[in-house]
Amino acid sequence: MTTRDYTHLDQLLMSFDSALRTVFGRPRVTERANPAEQFADVDLSDDERRHVGGLMRVNHTGEVCAQALYQGQALTARLAEVRASLERSAQEENDHLAWCEQRLQELGTRKSLMNPLWYAGSFAMGAAAGLAGDKWSLGFVVETERQVEDHLDDHLAQVPSDDQRTRAILMQMKADEIHHADVAHAAGGAPLPAPVKIAMKTVSKVMTRGAYWI
């Protein structure tokens, strides 16, 4: 069996299709079962349900951004093996997207209304990282995943201890983010300059605060 070599136009069309599916449609079929399935849901108070719903809306938006980042980086990656690694991570992040969407539905709340804006901005950032060179693109993955790991730790500290469905999703997401960072580092990811890291944290704070409410 031969592998098709996609043209730049093919890649752009596939990226556009992925954007529509991520922002306006439903995530692709997941490769793994939802880790929440092994736990029964619990009765949360109205305040707890509202707060957990806001946290999971933030996490869902984060996964929308992750899809956009990886798509943008894969589009501009120079080495085929780097592109393949980014696309593989994007598939695993698609699982997170589906799990977060399912939990939002269970909690009776909605996705962020700002997701189209965040997807567009994240795609542009990912493409720019790829254009800077594969080592910087991989370094961007490392730093992004490290920051997401810290963010998930913060959310785990806020989720009620008996809400095992939400906690199971967040814990599996954290394990995957650590793995993605390790893979990108091992593939040659370069440490990012301090100002870039600070800028990434600032953008992340704006996104999380906005997505919690809107």
Distance, C-alpha 123 to centroid of its chain: 12
**Weakest mean pLDDT among 15-19, 62-66, 99-103, 185-189:** 15-19
Domains and CATH numbers, the chain: 45-213 (1.20.1260.10)
Question: 10 Å Cβ neighbour count for 137?
Answer: 31
Arithmetic mean of pLDDT over the chain: 87
- 13 has pLDDT over 60: no
pTM for this prediction = 0.86
Look at residue 12 in the predicted model and tell me its pLDDT: 56
Q: Quick one: DSSP state of residue 159?
A: S
Look at residue 86 in the predicted model and tell me its pLDDT: 81
Structure confidence by residue, pLDDT tens digits, 66-116? 888 888 888 888 888 888 888 777 788 888 999 999 999 999 999 999 999
The amino acid that residue 78 corresponds to is R
Band (pLDDT 50/70/90 cuts) for residue 17 is low
* Structure tokens belonging to residue 123: 């795609």
Mean pLDDT, to the nearest integer, of 29-57?
A: 92
Distance, C-alpha 54 to centroid of its chain: 16
Percent of the chain, pLDDT > 70?
A: 86
- 61 has pLDDT over 90: yes
3-state secondary structure 24-62: CCCCCCCCCCCHHHHCCCCCCCHHHHHHHHHHHHHHHHH
